[in-house]
């Protein structure tokens, strides 16, 4: 892979989509209700479709997905976070899809973004509806939803670290995102955390190829079969 | 039905969601609405209108039902039907629905390891389809007055079964192909006749399901073809999968005709159209030339073309294994059902939250 591919912003967007798709796929057979088996798989499929379209513009999709090491992945740390319970997964969806909708909405010269923003609207709506249900549901669901918000908040700052090469107003992205997300959290009777939007040890690290520990095992599982048969076609 | 109504989720959005468009599940949903109005029960086949003196008696109902079945008319949810017919359908549709959701597990086992992004997308779409089939089928059962919660409870407590084939493990990537080609192939052979089943909502759900299943079967066949023509290791992987999945697939058609407990009555009611052995033979006849085209060997030394019968003769099935797996002693029975139970129990707080939220919204609206 040439260094120019590594620097292309599409790579970061493709990695975001692939890794989140993979995480959502881990729900298959474990969702709390059958409708959510369908919904989560559908979102995972949309994201996988986005990743494939973006990788294909950069090179061979399987080479990019299966033959890069952990340090070469450019996804933000938010999407690699383990699924946790349903609240963690849905709050992760809320944070990410709200951001992705705003981003894709600005990328009017990127055909994939123009097409994908329509599906992302559904992802965001799905996440908002569940945030409202969980936040303003039972005491237990409220507690779990608040815990999810508190846990994932530190990974949201990275979303607004500018990706060189994208014609995006990042400050407007941040204020648009904060307005939207805090509005939903308020309606869901959840508290917006005071804490920083960055991990203190490595702010914005995913984009630089620094990932959290759970990412390595996830990637190893994803790549293992492909790497076990070098050069084979599937 | 469960209390969760997730609103316009992505499943109903553009894309692959099974919720879109006019389809069999829509028909089942509409039927589900009608069945709540049980006072409207009427004899099948419109005989009530032809009756001469007021309310039709029980004999009229029964003979109207028999006449409708004999004339190949569809029985609909509001039609009168014998209790045993209703119970048989609920049992069969529930078992089918359970098989769809349990069947997701052996495939999901490979979702995280699919060796190319294209295969990952195909497998994810397939697993999603199966969840969708589960939804249609639970919906069809609901038109008979039995809700999803009750059926899931029976699955989790072992009072209702799912297809025994899913008690076998998926040990290699080729197993995903073998499930598509053989397991889905056997399921289609079983299910295509159900598109003409006498009960309308079930028949209509099956039309949609069979279309998607035949898509899955072609994808499984193509996956195996690529492996069979690939490296030596890939070819061996494919052959090993066929060796393990062939006989259990033949068992999917159920016990031999002379030992099948429910067959005769189901045939008379036109819930079932062909016997277990007929369907099994049909499946073998389809598979033999396909295996040859794949370059793979079916693990049966007794397979021979029988010129006189016009069929492939095949070896004896190990019904001892079939019965053992059915009784719960297969390799994955415990694993499958405990994963199902755990998913349901772990999700209880989510379903409770959705119900509580819906109540709050309702109260706020009525204030």
Do the Cβ atoms of B145 and B86 come closer than 8 Å?
yes
Expressed in percent and rounded to 5, the helix, strand and coil fractions of chain B are 70, 5, 30
Residue B54 is predicted with a pLDDT of 59
- Does B133 score more than 50 pLDDT? yes
Return the number of other C-beta atoms located less than 10 Å from residue B306's C-beta: 10
**pLDDT for the residue B267:** 87
First and final CA of chain B: distance in angstroms? 27
Split at pLDDT 50, 70, 90, the class of A194 is confident
Q: Is the pLDDT of residue B148 over 80?
A: yes
Looking at the complex, report in whole angstroms how far the Cα of residue A23 sits from the nearest Cα belonging to chain B: 9
In a domain, A101, yes or no: yes
B173 touches chain A (CB under 8 A): yes
Can you tell me whether residue B75 is helix, strand or coil?
Answer: strand
Instruction: Please count the other Cβ atoms lying within 10 Å of the Cβ belonging to residue A22.
Output: 25
Q: Single out the residue of A130, A62, A115, A101 nearest to residue B347, CA to CA.
A: A130
Q: State the ipTM, two decimals.
A: 0.96
Of all residues in chain A, what percent carry a pLDDT higher than 70? Answer: 96
**B356 with A137: Cβ contact below 8 A:** yes
Note whether residue A234 is domain-resident.
no
- Output the pLDDT for position B42: 64
pLDDT band at residue B6 under the 50/70/90 scheme:
very low
In angstroms, rounded to a whole number, what is the distance separating the alpha carbons of residues B28 and B179? 28
Decide if A8 is inside a domain.
Answer: yes
pLDDT band at B144 (very low <50, low <70, confident <90, very high): very high
A205 pLDDT exceeds 80? yes
Mean model confidence pLDDT for chain B: 87
Integer Cα distance of B359 and B103 in angstroms: 34
* pTM for this prediction: 0.90
pLDDT digits (tens, 9 = 90+) for A88-103: 999 999 999 999 999 9
Answer whether residue A163 is part of any domain: yes
The CATH code of the domain that includes A169 is 1.20.1260.10
In chain A, how many domains are there?
1
Lowest mean pLDDT among A221-225, B27-31, B208-212, B276-280: B27-31
Q: Residue A105 sits in which domain range?
A: 3-228
User: Cβ–Cβ of A34/B131 closer than 8 Å?
Assistant: yes
A189 touches chain B (CB under 8 A): no
Pick from A187-191, B27-31, B295-299, B363-367: least confident:
B27-31
Positive or negative, the CA dihedral B249, B255, B257, B261 is negative
- Which of B75, B76, B82, B37 lies closest to B59 in space, CA to CA? B82
pLDDT at B304: 97
> Concatenated DSSP letters for B281-304?
HHHHHHHHHHHHHHT---S-TT-E
pLDDT score of B58: 72
Using the predicted structure, report yes or no on whether residue B24 has a pLDDT greater than 70: no
pLDDT of residue B76: 95
- Alpha-carbon distance of B11 to B7, in angstroms, equals 10
Residue A233 lies in a domain: no
User: B46-51 long-range contacts, Cβ below 8 Å, gap at least 24?
Assistant: none
Contact between chains at A123 and B352 (C-beta distance less than 8 A): no
Cα angle at B163 between B158 and B168, to 5 degrees?
A: 95
Phi, psi of B237 (to 5 degrees): -60, -45
Inter-chain residue contact A134 with B6, CB threshold 8 Å: no
In a domain, A111, yes or no: yes
**Nearest chain B alpha carbon to A29:** B105
Identify the band that residue A197 occupies on the pLDDT scale cut at 50, 70 and 90. confident
Query: Is residue B297 predicted with pLDDT exceeding 70?
Result: yes
Q: From the centroid of its chain, how far is CA A58?
A: 20
Q: Choose between A79 and B258: higher pLDDT.
A: A79
């Amino acid at each position: 892979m040439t260094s120019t591919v590594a620097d292309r912003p599409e790579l970061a967007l493709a990695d975001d989509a692939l890794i989140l798709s993979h995480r959502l796929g881990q729900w298959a057979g474990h969702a709390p209700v059958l409708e959510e088996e369908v919904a989560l798989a559908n979102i995972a499929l949309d994201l996988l479709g986005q990743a494939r379209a973006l990788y294909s513009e950069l090179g061979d999709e399987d080479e990019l997905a299966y033959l890069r090491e952990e340090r070469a992945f450019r996804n933000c740390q938010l999407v690699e976070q383990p699924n946790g319970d349903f609240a963690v997964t849905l709050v992760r969806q809320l944070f990410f899809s709200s951001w992705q909708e705003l981003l894709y909405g600005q990328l009017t010269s990127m055909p994939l973004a123009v097409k994908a923003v329509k599906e992302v609207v559904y992802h965001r709506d799905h996440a908002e509806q569940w945030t409202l249900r969980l936040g303003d549901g039972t005491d237990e669901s409220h507690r779990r939803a608040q815990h999810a918000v508190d846990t994932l908040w530190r990974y949201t700052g990275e979303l607004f670290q500018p990706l060189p090469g994208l014609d995006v107003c990042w400050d407007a992205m941040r204020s648009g995102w904060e307005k939207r997300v805090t509005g939903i959290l308020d309606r869901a009777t959840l508290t917006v955390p005071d804490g920083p939007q960055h991990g203190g040890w490595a702010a914005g690290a995913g984009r630089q190829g620094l990932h959290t520990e759970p990412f390595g095992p996830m990637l190893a599982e994803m790549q293992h079969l492909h790497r076990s048969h070098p050069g084979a076609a599937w | 039905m469960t209390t969760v109504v997730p609103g316009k989720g992505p499943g109903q959005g553009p894309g692959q969601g099974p919720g879109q468009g006019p389809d069999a599940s829509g028909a089942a949903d509409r039927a589900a609405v009608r069945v709540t109005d049980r006072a409207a029960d009427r004899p099948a086949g419109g005989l009530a209108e032809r009756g001469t003196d007021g309310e039709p008696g029980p004999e009229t109902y029964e003979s109207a039902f028999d006449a409708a079945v004999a004339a190949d008319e569809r029985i609909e949810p509001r039609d009168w039907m014998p209790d045993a017919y209703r119970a048989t359908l609920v049992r069969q549709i529930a078992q089918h629905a359970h098989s769809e959701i349990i069947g997701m597990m052996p495939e999901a086992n490979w979702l995280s390891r699919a060796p190319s992004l294209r295969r990952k997308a195909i497998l994810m779409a397939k697993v999603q389809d199966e969840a969708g089939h589960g939804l249609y089928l639970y919906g069809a059962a609901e038109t008979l007055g039995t809700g999803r919660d009750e059926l899931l409870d029976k699955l989790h407590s072992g009072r209702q079964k799912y297809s025994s084939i899913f008690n076998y493990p998926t040990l290699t990537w080729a197993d995903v192909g073998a499930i598509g080609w053989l397991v889905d192939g056997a399921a289609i052979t079983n299910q295509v006749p159900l598109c003409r089943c006498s009960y309308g909502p079930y028949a209509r759900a099956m039309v949609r399901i069979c279309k998607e299943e035949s898509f899955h079967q072609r994808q499984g066949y193509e996956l195996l073809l690529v492996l069979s023509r690939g490296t030596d290791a890939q070819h061996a992987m494919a052959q090993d999968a066929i060796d393990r999945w062939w006989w259990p697939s033949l068992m999917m058609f159920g016990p031999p005709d002379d030992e099948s407990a429910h067959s005769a009555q189901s045939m008379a009611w036109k819930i079932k159209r062909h016997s277990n052995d007929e369907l099994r033979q049909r499946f073998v006849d389809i598979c033999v030339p396909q295996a040859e085209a794949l370059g793979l060997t079916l693990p049966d030394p007794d397979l021979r073309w029988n010129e006189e019968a016009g069929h492939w003769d095949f070896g004896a099935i190990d019904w001892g294994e079939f019965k053992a797996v059915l009784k719960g002693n297969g390799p994955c029975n415990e694993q499958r059902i405990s994963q199902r139970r755990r998913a349901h129990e772990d999700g209880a707080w989510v379903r409770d939250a959705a119900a509580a939220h819906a109540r709050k919204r309702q109260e706020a609206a009525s204030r």
